[in-house]
Amino acid sequence: MKRYVLAITGASGSILGVRLLEELVKRSEVHLLVSRNTFPIILDETGLDWSADTEALLRDTYRADRIFFHEDTNMYAPVSSGSYKTDGMFIVPCTMKTLAGIACGYANNLIERAADVTIKEGRPLLLAPREMPFSSVHLENMLKLSRIGVRIAPPVPAFYQGPKTLNDMVDFMIGKMLDAMAIEHGLFRRWGSGPS
């Protein structure tokens, strides 16, 4: 079974991280990191209250004992060490603060440390930066990371598959992120595969 780290930071778009967790846990062990200011955003945007007894709540919700939750202040979590093997990391959505911390190797919290470990160990890392418009500083940080192999995947919808609902659009974006990490899925109709 594959093992992934998923971090959800305090940018708008927490619905994307929640949906990605739903997909990853179907076939993988997931170590979930949520920045401390993000729980109210998840509640506002999705109606889900993950703030208390997070790991037990998620295991019950997704009927999976392979979800592990780590506080972003817990620098002793397994994912803070390169000797703890994973198959990659997602940060969805990714704030510009987190992106800057990773680009500079700052590792000020568990999310940034886990990303730093992922990079130094040569494992796949995908960031979904959530800001618009991007400033030159944002773009330079993304370019710096892209040049060392980090996948930069801003959540951008497409319309060729004929989305009817917000969930259709979310599934497309999550599907593209899974594609970028070579994870099979059936979340959207691919170009050239016929009408939806």
Q: Rounded mean pLDDT of 171-180?
A: 97
The H-assigned helical ranges of 83-165 are: 96-103, 110-120, 136-147
Identity at 32, one-letter amino acid code = L
What is residue 4's three-state secondary structure?
Answer: strand
Return the bridge partners of 6, or none.
32, 90
**pLDDT band at 195; cut points 50, 70, 90:** low
Q: Tell me: the pLDDT tens digits for 70-91?
A: 999 999 999 999 999 999 999 9
**pLDDT band at 194; cut points 50, 70, 90:** low
- Least confidently predicted of 63-67, 146-150, 157-161: 157-161
- In order of 89, 138, 161, 178, 181, the CA distances from 125 in angstroms are 5, 17, 27, 12, 8
Please, what is the Cα angle at 49 between 44 and 52, to 5 degrees?
140
Side-chain half-sphere CA neighbours of 164 within 13 A? 2
Backbone angles phi, psi at 44, to 5 degrees: -60, -40
pLDDT of residue 190: 85
pLDDT of residue 163: 93
Fold (topology level) of 2-180:
Rossmann fold (3.40.50)
pLDDT of residue 26: 95
Residue 80 is classified by DSSP as G
- In order of 25, 48, 61, 87, 195, the CA distances from 1 in angstroms are 10, 27, 20, 10, 34
The string over 97-111, giving b where at least 16 C-beta atoms fall within 10 Å of a residue's C-beta and e elsewhere, is ebbbbbbeeebebbb
Q: Tell me: the pLDDT tens digits for 89-148?
A: 999 999 999 999 999 999 999 999 999 999 999 999 999 999 999 999 999 999 999 999
